[in-house]
Amino acid sequence: MLTYPQIDPVAIAIGPLSVHWYGLMYLLAFGLFMLLGRAHLRRRPELGWTSQQLDDLLFYGVLGVVIGGRLGEILFYQPGYYFSHPAELIAIWKGGMSFHGGFLGVLVAMWLYGRKSGKGFWQITDFIAPLVPTGLAAGRVGNFINGE
C-alpha cells in the first residue's frame, strides 16, 4: 500500500485570511504562461502576435479556466447540491473546480478571443500549445498537495 504525504493545503494563514497552495499553483501557471509567452513572442516574431494580444489572451484564458472549471464542477459532479443551494454557485473559495470544465471553458474563451481579435482558432491554439504544459503541471502539483 502506498502512503501519501499529508501536506497542509494552506500555504500561508494570517488571521482569517488563508492562501491555499492550489491558488498559488494557479497563480504560478498564469505567471509562467505570461513569462513563456513573452519569450515565445521574441523568438517567433513571424507568428504576428503582439504583447497586448498576449495579455488579452491570458485574460480570456483566466476567465475560461475559472468560469469553466466552476461550471464543470457544478454540472458534472454535484448538480443537485448546487441547484438546491444556489448561493454556493460562486463560492470558489470553498473549492470545487473541474479540469474538464476548465478545458471546455478555455476552448470557448479561445473561440471568443478569436472572434474579438480576428485570429483563427487554430492560429490561437498553435500559439498557446507550447505554453500550456507548465500550467497543467502546476495544476497537478496543486492536486497532489490537496490529496486529490
Q: What is the pLDDT of residues 95-125, one digit of tens each?
A: 788 999 999 999 999 999 999 999 999 999 9
Q: Rounded to two decimals, what is the model's pTM?
A: 0.88
CB 54 within 8 A of CB 37: yes
Q: What is the pLDDT of residues 49-85, one digit of tens each?
A: 999 999 999 999 999 999 999 999 999 998 998 889 8
Q: What is the pLDDT of residues 3-15, one digit of tens each?
A: 778 889 899 999 9
pLDDT at 136 exceeding the cut of 90 = yes
β partners of residue 12: 19
pLDDT at 95: 76
- Between CA 74 and CA 42 the distance in angstroms is 40
Burial of 3 (0-12, 13-18, 19+ CB in 10 A): exposed
